[in-house]
Structure 1
Amino acid sequence: MSGSFSRSQQTRKPGITATTSGVVAAQHVVAAEVGADVLAAGGDAVDAAVAVSFAIGVVEPWMSGPAGGGAMMLWRADEGRAHALNYGMRSSAALDLDRYPLSGEGKASDLFPWEKVLEDRNVTGATSVAVPGTVAGISSAHTRFGRMAWAELLAPAVDLARKGLHVDWYAALVIAASARDLARDPDAAAMFLDDGQWPKGSGWTALAEQRLDQTRMADTLEHLAREGETAFYRGDIGQALVRDVTEKGGFLTMEDLRDYRVAWTDSLAIPFRDATVHAVPGLTAGPTLADALTRWESDYDARDAASPAAHVARADGLRAAYAERLAHMGDHESATAPGCTTHFSIVDRAGNMVAMTQTLLSIFGSKVVSPGTGMLLNNGIMWFDPERGRPNSMAPAKACLMNVCPVIGETAHRRFALGASGGRKIMPAVAQISAHLIEQDMSMQEAIEAPRLDASGGPQVVADERLAGPVTEALAARFPVAQAQRLPFPFAFACPAGVMREGATNSGTTETMSPWGDGVAEPDAARKRT
């Protein structure tokens, strides 16, 4: 067992509780406020999700955006049922596998320990861009369940992009961590860097302020607000994306965009103790979550959920579930890489819920900006194994295997919407938080703040330093164990966001150490956003 930290300092993030209004929990408080304002204006949880989706793509552009993909779980109070929606990315039908030869130089440099491809063509640059699905997904949900006008819901994101993202210390730190890769694309360098190499930042004084120039993105969002999904998949926005990706050497055609379809399905209903956890089936972390929870239910008693033995059983279950995923789904994602994802959860005053995860895959996606749209582009091609003949091998017109894990959980007396960002760490976090809520009847704040472990890849188990003592000693008797702190940067664990409804009372919160995340209740009047 390695790691030794001081545990004298404690950090808490008070959750929000509201008895007569809805709640939004998101990884950026400004986006959460946008969604809360939509709820205050009479919008449904899905309306708020539309607004949050586009707003968070502006204020947290390296994590997600319209040129990405993802999945969501929805709960409809009037139907008393859950719906699953997958809008993951796909490879282009025009993808040329001969452009991705193995280099013979070892393993790839990012999230997955694939064999390295020549020039990392599947990891960075336009050759790593997959067909995006986020706009199709959120538009489909809005068409089915939304109440408010599409243009009205996109207006806050347009306004935020016109102002440009304020580059505070956290934004500057995130940009600095990827500055070398961003410098390789002139359009990404122009947006995020000064002099093509230094990260933009606001200097050493709190009075200084620097903002990203997101004018082109604002124009694109305004166009999308007027014309809807058609502009993205069949119109001018799509044409600009195709032109930019093609000119930079990638594979994307108008046929790819026109043929893209989202997938509405029944939820994957996972019985656990006296509750049910609804997840997205198929090429997500949903099936792996079902595997882990099923193992936990048989391997330890709910009454012993806080015991060292239960923690060992959870680590065992997670390891076994990931071994099964690796064997049959081909997901080799590194357990140490952060991923580029954002999650938000919403409950409205009627009890409708949305748990939505959207992603560009890596931090800053492909590290390429589309000059015609102002959007960062995904690097979804990296999800595929570049070696032939594997369960998840690269191929044209193929759906990407994602680690997203949005869920809706329901017990006899309450319901919750939950998810997280953090690559392969997402499912273990969602599983443990769900178990805390179900087995120990914790509040959402208590469950998210509770110390967690991660056993999502490799022989090592990573334990929150607050588990030091009998728990880590029991873990260390079975596995190599490392202790880790919960820090604002970098994250050793996933970054969750959840909401809960108990009776008529709604609550919600986000990862304690997330510098920007928070839960926000709908206000009496619209707030001013900066």
Structure 2
Amino acid sequence: MIDNFSHTQVVRKTVIATEGGVVASQHKRAAQVGAAVLAAGGDAVDAAVATSFALGVVEPWMSGVAAGGCMVLWRADEQRARVVDYGMRSPRALDPADYPLTADGRSSDLFPWRAVVDDRNVQGATAVAVPGVVAGMALAHASYGRKPWRELVTPAVGLAEEGLLADWYSGLVIASAAKPLSQDPDAAAMFLDDGRWPIVGAWNGSADRHLDQKVLARSLRQIAEEGPRALYQGSLAQALVRDVRAKGGCLGEDDLAAYQAEWAEPLAVPYRGGTVYAAPGLTGGPTYAHALQMLERELGDPGGAPDAHAYRALARSLDAAFRARLSDMGDQDAPQAPGCTTHFSVVDRHGNLCAVTQTLLSIFGSRVVSPSTGVLLNNGIMWFDPEPGKPNSLAPGKRVLANYCPVVGVAADGRRFALGASGGRKILGAVLQLSSFLMAHGMSLEQAFHQPRIDVSGGGQVTADASLPREVFSALALELPTTAARRVVFPYAFACPAGVLRDGQRNMGCTEIMSPWGDAVHEANAP
């Protein structure tokens, strides 16, 4: 392949074992917040709540209080896995007729649906769905939290009052969406200079710059002091609905008041003498289970490190699972869509695990900010096919079909792990490969995260890490058309995972090696 990048540069992340708890997150400061909760005696769920709210501030284009998602837990005392489902819903007042199809063309964002007039399902307040992340965190906390709710949300308030520190990486991410952000005055005010350019710090380091998130800080303080229902009932909910409606959306106070997160029984998928637990229903879990079961048959004796046969088995299993998903569940998103989600994983000193994935859907969601609350809004309506008569067609009061795939696993050797990733449809393949690297090939967590990966996500082709040996490319080409891609900082050709692992009494974590912000933080290293 021809490009401008170095062939000799090596990027690594170090995995260190500890008897204390660990949080692995796509942003270091959010991981530090969660690790501090563990250091203060909090449960893994307490750390998950604190990390979730912190991520909504320091990685606002991926998550936040307007997000939806899913948590898979392993409870050491109960010796079982559980799932909290807090996916988004379409508003009850939504009318599919308000999303007329254009005469021709496809949507320019994540999903190649038929295009809607003015991209009403993609951009702006008309794309906003009912958020679930606050309700999801509250449900998990009510069962397993040890620390007061206010104590867990308050660190995010402080981060928002300070504002996200702008650097070269935040500037790069904002630049990727600067044009659509400029179309909403409130989003432009938060993320852009002069309504056009990404806010970045001084290149020579002489002066720090921060995003202005003070209005968001006030909303987070209200959620901290009044409790999680503040987002769904009361003055904060009313202000959020008022702003969405003023910008043309149909979100109603009744939508927020009626929203409930739910407990669900996980899918238990046997693999290599162990079990992986995944989310059921309208997530990536069923497709992951299909692929993992097929992989066990296709792989045979895995031997040592993944070889050409192993990668071909991975490609075949993922291709078959995605073909079934596309025909049965109606998920038709574009294989090369950019990552637009966040994932973090937690393990505490008692062996409780949390794998948590949450999203605004597109990067920066609807690219609309609620001025009264400072909340960047989701564009969950885009998850639905705007064409009627399909398995996932747009309708009022309907659950969305999402790609997130958090899992917890118990390997045959007794090791336990929590994994997940961001990256749209690329998520599933990354989680599948990491699970197999750990369970079939006996890799350490550090080895698994550094091992080159492939992506097969329904487009009838393979994207393979350019560092893989030639014989792997030859084997993959026998299965599907194969192209090479580098593992770079931005945009990600592959998903962006984060995971933790418990081996005996030792805990460890790792994040995507190319993520400049992602890190695993031990409770002993918490601020």
* TM-score, normalised by the number of residues in structure 2: 0.98
> Per-residue deviation at 1:119?
0.3
Residues 276-425 of structure 1: pairs in structure 2 closer than 5 A: 276-304=275-303, 306-412=306-412, 413-425=414-426
The reply on whether 1:153 has 2:152 as its aligned counterpart is: yes
CA distance in 2: counterparts of 1:49 and 1:204, whole angstroms:
34
CA distance in 1: counterparts of 2:134 and 2:302, whole angstroms:
44
More displaced stretch, 478-487 vs 365-374: 478-487
> Per-residue deviation at 1:194?
1.1
Q: Name 1:506's counterpart in structure 2.
A: 507
For residue 420 of structure 1, what is the amino acid of its counterpart? A
Residues 91-130 of structure 1: pairs in structure 2 closer than 5 A: 91-130=90-129
> Per-residue deviation at 1:207?
1.9
For residue 267 of structure 2, what is the amino acid of its counterpart? L
Deviation string for 1:102-124 (max 9, x for gaps)? Answer: 01230001000000000000000
CA distance in 1: counterparts of 2:6 and 2:198, whole angstroms:
32
Task: Describe the SS at the equivalent of 1:110.
Answer: coil
Q: Name 2:465's counterpart in structure 1.
A: 464
Report how many aligned residue pairs link the two structures: 524
Task: Describe the SS at the equivalent of 1:477.
Answer: helix
For residue 496 of structure 2, what is the amino acid of its counterpart? C
Contact kept in structure 1, 2:302 and 2:310, CA below 8 Å: no
CA distance in 2: counterparts of 1:266 and 1:509, whole angstroms:
27
CA distance in 2: counterparts of 1:300 and 1:201, whole angstroms:
47
Task: Describe the SS at the equivalent of 2:55.
Answer: helix
> Per-residue deviation at 1:54?
0.3
Q: Name 2:445's counterpart in structure 1.
A: 444
CA distance in 2: counterparts of 1:80 and 1:387, whole angstroms:
44
Contact kept in structure 2, 1:33 and 1:520, CA below 8 Å: yes
Residues 15-26 of structure 1: pairs in structure 2 closer than 5 A: 15-18=15-18, 20-26=19-25
Deviation string for 1:250-286 (max 9, x for gaps)? Answer: 1111111111111211110011111100000000000
Contact kept in structure 2, 1:187 and 1:371, CA below 8 Å: yes
Contact kept in structure 1, 2:344 and 2:420, CA below 8 Å: yes
Contact kept in structure 2, 1:59 and 1:160, CA below 8 Å: yes
For residue 38 of structure 2, what is the amino acid of its counterpart? L
> Per-residue deviation at 1:3?
5.7
Q: Name 1:58's counterpart in structure 2.
A: 57
> Per-residue deviation at 1:500?
0.4
Residues 153-302 of structure 1: pairs in structure 2 closer than 5 A: 153-302=152-301
Contact kept in structure 2, 1:16 and 1:520, CA below 8 Å: no
CA distance in 2: counterparts of 1:81 and 1:478, whole angstroms:
38
CA distance in 1: counterparts of 2:158 and 2:205, whole angstroms:
24
CA distance in 2: counterparts of 1:302 and 1:206, whole angstroms:
53
Contact kept in structure 1, 2:315 and 2:479, CA below 8 Å: no
Contact kept in structure 2, 1:234 and 1:257, CA below 8 Å: yes
Aligned-CA RMSD value: 1.2
CA distance in 2: counterparts of 1:369 and 1:105, whole angstroms:
30
> Per-residue deviation at 1:201?
1.1
Deviation string for 1:5-56 (max 9, x for gaps)? Answer: 75322210112321x2000000000000000000000000000001000001
CA distance in 2: counterparts of 1:444 and 1:235, whole angstroms:
45
> Per-residue deviation at 1:390?
0.2
For residue 445 of structure 2, what is the amino acid of its counterpart? M
> Unpaired segments of 5 or more residues in structure 2?
none
For residue 41 of structure 2, what is the amino acid of its counterpart? G
Deviation string for 1:217-258 (max 9, x for gaps)? Answer: 000000000011121111111111110110000111111111
> Per-residue deviation at 1:476?
1.6
Identity of aligned residues (%): 58
Task: Describe the SS at the equivalent of 2:11.
Answer: coil
CA distance in 1: counterparts of 2:311 and 2:501, whole angstroms:
25
More displaced stretch, 2-11 vs 382-391: 2-11
Contact kept in structure 1, 2:12 and 2:450, CA below 8 Å: yes
Contact kept in structure 1, 2:365 and 2:379, CA below 8 Å: yes
For residue 327 of structure 1, what is the amino acid of its counterpart? S
Contact kept in structure 2, 1:64 and 1:358, CA below 8 Å: yes
> Unpaired segments of 5 or more residues in structure 1?
none
Task: Describe the SS at the equivalent of 2:276.
Answer: strand
CA distance in 2: counterparts of 1:26 and 1:352, whole angstroms:
17
Task: Describe the SS at the equivalent of 2:131.
Answer: coil
Q: Name 2:83's counterpart in structure 1.
A: 84
Deviation string for 1:112-151 (max 9, x for gaps)? Answer: 0000000000000000000000000001111111000111
List 4+ stretches of structure 1 deviating above 4 A: 2-6
> Per-residue deviation at 1:299?
1.2
CA distance in 2: counterparts of 1:487 and 1:437, whole angstroms:
23
For residue 215 of structure 1, what is the amino acid of its counterpart? K
For residue 17 of structure 1, what is the amino acid of its counterpart? A
Q: Name 1:489's counterpart in structure 2.
A: 490
For residue 379 of structure 1, what is the amino acid of its counterpart? N
Contact kept in structure 1, 2:339 and 2:495, CA below 8 Å: no
Contact kept in structure 2, 1:91 and 1:400, CA below 8 Å: yes
CA distance in 2: counterparts of 1:259 and 1:458, whole angstroms:
38
For residue 419 of structure 1, what is the amino acid of its counterpart? G
CA distance in 1: counterparts of 2:479 and 2:220, whole angstroms:
52
Contact kept in structure 2, 1:339 and 1:361, CA below 8 Å: no
Task: Describe the SS at the equivalent of 2:104.
Answer: strand
* TM-score, normalised by the number of residues in structure 1: 0.97
Q: Name 1:134's counterpart in structure 2.
A: 133
> Per-residue deviation at 1:98?
1.2
CA distance in 1: counterparts of 2:327 and 2:437, whole angstroms:
29
For residue 357 of structure 1, what is the amino acid of its counterpart? T
> Per-residue deviation at 1:433?
0.2
More displaced stretch, 35-44 vs 310-319: 310-319
Contact kept in structure 2, 1:16 and 1:519, CA below 8 Å: no
CA distance in 2: counterparts of 1:369 and 1:339, whole angstroms:
20
CA distance in 1: counterparts of 2:67 and 2:235, whole angstroms:
18
CA distance in 1: counterparts of 2:160 and 2:426, whole angstroms:
31
